[in-house]
Amino acid sequence: MNIPMKPPYNSEDDVTQYLNDIRLLSHNFYQVIIEVQHLFHSRINDVTETIKYGGIVFCHNNSLIAGVFSYKGHVSVEFSHGVEFDDPDNILEGKGRFRRHIKLQCTEDIDSKRLATFIKECKTQLNLQN
């Protein structure tokens, strides 16, 4: 029996499909994710994205640096090495060894929870590794 193979993985098409699905479920969360995408792409050169772990993950030089995931009540932006970020106001959540996240419920949370600052921290980590 011949089992059809999945066509070659096309992350751009998969991301577009994911965003279309999110827009159907919650236009608000769709707007949040679009703004998060824009921040990553405008602040970190050569960042790529693909669908993994049920959301959009951002990579740099084939290393996962962060991801954005939609849940029933919020959008989560997760940083692979967020434990190393400077966070004097304790905005980041999580207790794992490396990862930290921010929960966003609306586009206003992007500024109030200082997402751009944490993306800058992500970029600083990348510069230290190179």
Q: Which of 44-64 are b and which e, b meaning 16 or more Cβ less than 10 Å from the residue's Cβ?
A: beebebbbeeebbbbbbeeee
Domain assignment present for 3: no
Number of separate domains in the chain:
1
Domain assignment present for 1: no
Domain holding 74: CATH number? 3.90.1150
Confidence tier at 4 by pLDDT (50, 70, 90): very low
What is the dihedral sign for C-alpha 27, 10, 118, 97? positive
Q: How far apart are the C-alpha atoms of 96 and 36, rounded to whole Å?
A: 23
In tens, the pLDDT along 21-39 reads 999 999 999 999 999 999 9
Top-confidence residue, 11 or 50: 50
Domain assignment present for 4: no
Q: What is the pLDDT of residue 5?
A: 40
Domain assignment present for 6: no
Both tokens of 62, joined, read 């084939």
Domain assignment present for 20: yes
Domain assignment present for 59: yes
Cross-strand partners of 1: none
Q: What is the pLDDT of residue 7?
A: 41
- Helix intervals (H) in 3-129: 11-25, 27-43, 108-112, 115-129
Q: What is the residue whose two structure tokens read 């586009």?
A: 107
Confidence tier at 43 by pLDDT (50, 70, 90): very high
Domain of residue 100, residue span: 11-129
Top-confidence residue, 7 or 72: 72
